[in-house]
């Protein structure tokens, strides 16, 4: 069975990451001060109820993040999810309800909507890619092309759209790319690595680390994925005997990808192939039909458009102000 990267779910660690983003967002909006427009126009004791509403069709993500944001603005705000993250919603559908002081609701509005809009946009785009390869064996993966500080949040959104997480960072997998191989030439080293030599060196490193570092390193070494990037069929032929877990096929045409799959199937069927580069919604179907196992798509996070969501006062219970 092929090893898999860690997959992000909502947990205490992700909530801690989100809290840092929320606190920065509050600082951006209030700068340790006040929402002066709201203070000028609403009494301090005004109470209200509002709902977060989808303005367009999409996959909702970020409701737990928004709830955390609401509590950070005002612990007395009451938040209720009206659907779970990962739900496909239609225009006008209510996705959350909140109530409390009007001043707190208005101050928190933009941060809440930014979180839900950004993460829902990623989830929605991920769903489109997943649907585009639904009739094949290929699985869609994200990349590290994420917004600085938002990576785990954005990868969570990818999961809510039905796609998969690639490595979370530099710490949880070995991924040998062209610049690792090219370094030898840049540094005037005696010999630069071939992809196969680099895989063998990585395997030796893990084995030596296992022996030198004891049981903790042993556990991670046994499960750490070793992936290598190649950009020619000849490189693929040469690297398969070295036994990487995954070979990334960089910027290959569908014809080349199909050839690579045939070679892998004949010589090393246990090794998975990942297509990367030149992937968009117009090309992903043809790429998937070549028989590759994985397709990594940077656009899931670097090109997703935020989903349009809004905050509306509840018609049944508009804001109330004491006289």
The catalytic residues are 110, 145, 177, 229, 250
Instruction: Return all residues near 278 (Cβ < 8 A) that are at least 6 apart.
Output: 251
Kindly give the pairing relationship between strand 294-296 and strand 309-313.
Answer: unpaired
Maximum C-alpha span of the chain: 83
CA proximity to 64, closest of 50, 52, 55, 48: 52
Cα distance from N-terminal residue to C-terminal residue, the chain: 69
- C-beta neighbour count of 280 within 10 angstroms: 12
Burial of 16 (0-12, 13-18, 19+ CB in 10 A): exposed
Rounded CA-CA distance 276/250 in Å is 5
CB contact at 8 A, 77 and 108: yes
Kindly give the pairing relationship between strand 78-81 and strand 94-101.
Answer: antiparallel
Rounded CA-CA distance 309/305 in Å is 12
């Amino acid at each position: 069975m092929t090893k898999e990267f860690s997959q992000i779910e909502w947990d205490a660690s992700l909530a801690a990451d989100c809290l840092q983003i929320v606190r920065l967002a509050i600082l951006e909006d209030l700068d340790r001060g006040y929402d002066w427009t709201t203070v000028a126009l609403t009494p301090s004791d005004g109470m209200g109820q509002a709902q977060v509403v989808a303005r367009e069709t999409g996959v909702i993500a970020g409701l737990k993040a928004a709830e955390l944001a609401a509590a950070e603005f005002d612990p007395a705000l009451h938040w209720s999810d009206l659907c779970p993250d990962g739900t496909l919603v239609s225009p006008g559908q209510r996705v959350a309800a909140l109530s409390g002081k009007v001043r707190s609701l208005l101050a928190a509005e933009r941060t809440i909507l930014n979180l839900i809009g950004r993460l829902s946009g990623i989830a929605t785009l991920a769903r489109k890619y997943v649907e585009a390869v639904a009739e094949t064996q290929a699985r869609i993966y994200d990349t590290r092309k994420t917004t600085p500080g938002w990576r785990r949040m954005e990868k969570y959104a990818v999961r809510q759209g039905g796609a998969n997480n690639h490595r979370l960072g530099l710490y949880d997998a070995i991924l040998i790319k062209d610049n690792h191989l090219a370094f030898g030439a840049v540094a005037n080293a005696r010999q630069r690595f071939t992809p196969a030599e680099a895989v063998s060196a990585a395997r030796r490193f893990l084995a030596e680390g296992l022996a030198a570092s004891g049981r903790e390193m042993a556990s991670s070494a046994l499960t750490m994925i070793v992936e290598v990037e190649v950009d020619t069929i000849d490189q693929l032929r040469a690297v398969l005997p070295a036994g990487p877990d995954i070979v990334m096929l960089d910027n290959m045409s569908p014809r080349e990808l199909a050839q690579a799959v045939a070679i892998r199937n004949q010589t090393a069927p246990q090794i998975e192939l990942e297509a990367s580069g030149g992937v968009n919604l117009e090309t992903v179907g043809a790429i998937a039909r070549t028989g590759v196992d994985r397709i990594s798509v940077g656009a899931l996070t670097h090109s997703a458009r935020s989903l349009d969501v809004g905050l509306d006062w509840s018609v049944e219970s508009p804001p109330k102000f004491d006289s």
